[in-house]
């Protein structure tokens, strides 16, 4: 099925659509009523069917409601001084996302991928789905970045719901987990989309450090600017795009410079800026959310491992001299 069907259907049709799941995890949908009964959903059919039933919001909400990540205040990047969270939008894309994951693993850095629904749905999305599986396998977070990357302010209620809920359903279909994080395309929520995300208990995630990788800067310049901003701001949330070859080529260098900067801080007796999962940026009205033990353990592993990495770096530098 096209994914567009998933979204419109899940939001607006409720029992009008028969949901299924193929062995490869692809969510399928067929019309259950009327002259289109049994037909696989297409965008047009989904829209037609959508008019016939009231919304089944409860189901869409249940898929999104994550008690650990969802329903927190909007993350803007200044919530956790001394910590940096890397986020990658618009993927997954074979050929670039894999390189980003490789670099994150090599430098033991957590990250969140805000994926676009249409990329992980359909017959030709096997590579993209495998990348999501790899993200989950290594403990990266997978967030919702809408179905088709629209300007949400320009959309009506039904389309907003479809963009968000359809993507939640697509991610859930692959990961089996609730989706608690949402990033509006261009960082631009409209009134409708903000209300919808809140209703679905999605935590909206913005950023404080924009890599501007989409502007095609020179690689060396981008690398330097991001790392300088991380240390100047004492951490934050970094926005990058794992669909960009530039980012795929540069991310290892950025993580290497971050590690080098942290080694310099350690040598000077200062605290490092610790790369962490977005969990540390979650805030409720009464303050920071508790961080799950396994997430805290991962952070501690980076901190504990840093001195040895720094020693290995300085040895390597001597040998290269």
The DSSP call for residue 291 is P
Select from 4-12, 98-106, 158-166, 183-191 the region that touches Zn ion (CB under 5 A).
183-191
Dihedral angle over CA of 254, 276, 107, 138, nearest 10: -130
241 is a catalytic site residue: yes
* H-assigned helices in the chain: 3-12, 43-50, 57-64, 97-106, 126-137, 157-175, 191-199, 219-232, 245-267, 293-320
Least separation in angstroms between CB 114 and Zn ion: 7
Name the catalytic one among 36, 66, 89, 165: 89
The distance of closest approach from Cβ of residue 185 to Zn ion in the complex, given in angstroms and rounded to an integer, is 5
Q: Does 184 bind Zn ion (CB under 5 A)?
A: no
Nearer of residues 80 and 239 to Zn ion, judged by Cβ: 239
Q: Is 89 a catalytic residue?
A: yes
Using CB under 5 A as the criterion, what x/- string covers residues 275-294 for binding Zn ion? --------------------
Helices (H), 79-212: 97-106, 126-137, 157-175, 191-199
Residue 90 CB, shortest distance to Zn ion, in Å, is 4
Task: Decide: residue 293, CB within 10 A, 0-12 exposed, 13-18 middle, 19+ buried.
Answer: exposed
Minimum Å distance from CB 86 to Zn ion? 15
Query: Which residue, 34, 28, 26, 27, is CA-closest to 50?
Result: 34
Instruction: For residues 263 and 272, give the distance between their C-alpha atoms in angstroms, rounded to a whole number.
Output: 8
Of 57, 82, 29, nearest in space to 158 by CA: 57
Structure tokens at 189: 């929520």
3-state secondary structure of 278: helix
> How many other CB atoms are found less than 10 A from the CB of residue 57?
17
The residue range among 74-82, 120-128, 158-166, 177-185 that interacts with Zn ion, by the rule CB under 5 A, is: 177-185
| Shortest Å, Cβ 226 to Zn ion | 17
Contact flag: residue 185 with Zn ion (CB under 5 A): yes
Question: CB under 5 A: which stretch of 46-54, 76-84, 86-94, 225-233 binds Zn ion?
Answer: 86-94
What is the rounded distance in angstroms from the CA atom of residue 276 to the CA atom of residue 110? 6
| Sole binder of Zn ion in the list 36, 56, 89, 242 (CB under 5 A) | 89
Which one of the listed residues 189, 196, 241, 279 is annotated catalytic? 241
110 vs 185, which CB is nearer to Zn ion? 185
| Binding pattern for the stretch 128-167 against Zn ion, x by CB under 5 A and - elsewhere | ----------------------------------------
Residue 90 in the binding site for Zn ion (CB under 5 A): yes
Nearest-approach distance from CB 92 to Zn ion, in angstroms: 13
Site residues (CB under 5 A) for Zn ion? 89-90, 185
Which residues are designated catalytic? 89, 241
């Amino acid at each position: 099925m096209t994914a567009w069907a998933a979204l419109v259907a899940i939001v607006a049709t409720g029992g009008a659509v028969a949901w299924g799941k193929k062995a490869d995890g692809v969510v399928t949908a067929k019309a259950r009523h009327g002259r289109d009964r049994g037909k696989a959903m297409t965008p047009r059919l989904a829209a037609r069917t959508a008019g016939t039933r009231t919304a089944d919001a409860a189901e869409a909400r249940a898929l999104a409601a994550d008690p650990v990540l969802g329903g927190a205040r909007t993350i803007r990047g200044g919530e956790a001084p001394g910590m940096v969270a890397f986020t990658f939008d618009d993927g997954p894309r074979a050929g670039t996302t894999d390189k980003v994951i490789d670099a994150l693993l090599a430098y033991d850095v957590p990250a969140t991928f805000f994926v676009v629904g249409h990329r992980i749905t359909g017959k030709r999305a096997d590579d993209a789905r495998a990348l999501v599986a790899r993200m989950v396998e290594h403990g990266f977070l997978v967030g919702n970045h809408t179905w088709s990357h629209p300007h949400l302010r320009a959309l009506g209620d039904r389309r907003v719901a479809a963009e968000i809920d359809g993507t939640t359903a697509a991610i859930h279909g692959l990961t089996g987990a609730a989706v608690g994080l949402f990033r509006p395309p261009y960082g631009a929520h409209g009134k409708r989309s903000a209300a919808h995300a809140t209703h679905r208990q999605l935590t909206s995630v913005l950023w404080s450090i924009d890599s501007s990788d989409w502007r095609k800067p020179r690689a060396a310049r981008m690398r330097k600017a991001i790392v300088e901003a991380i240390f100047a701001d004492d951490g934050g949330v970094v926005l990058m795009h794992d669909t960009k070859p530039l980012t795929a080529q540069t991310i290892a260098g950025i993580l290497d410079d971050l590690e080098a900067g942290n080694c310099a801080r350690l040598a000077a007796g200062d605290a490092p800026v610790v790369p962490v999962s977005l969990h540390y940026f979650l805030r409720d009205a009464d303050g920071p959310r508790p961080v799950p033990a396994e997430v805290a353990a991962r952070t501690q592993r980076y901190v504990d491992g840093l001195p040895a990495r720094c020693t290995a770096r300085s040895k390597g530098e001597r040998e290269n001299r």
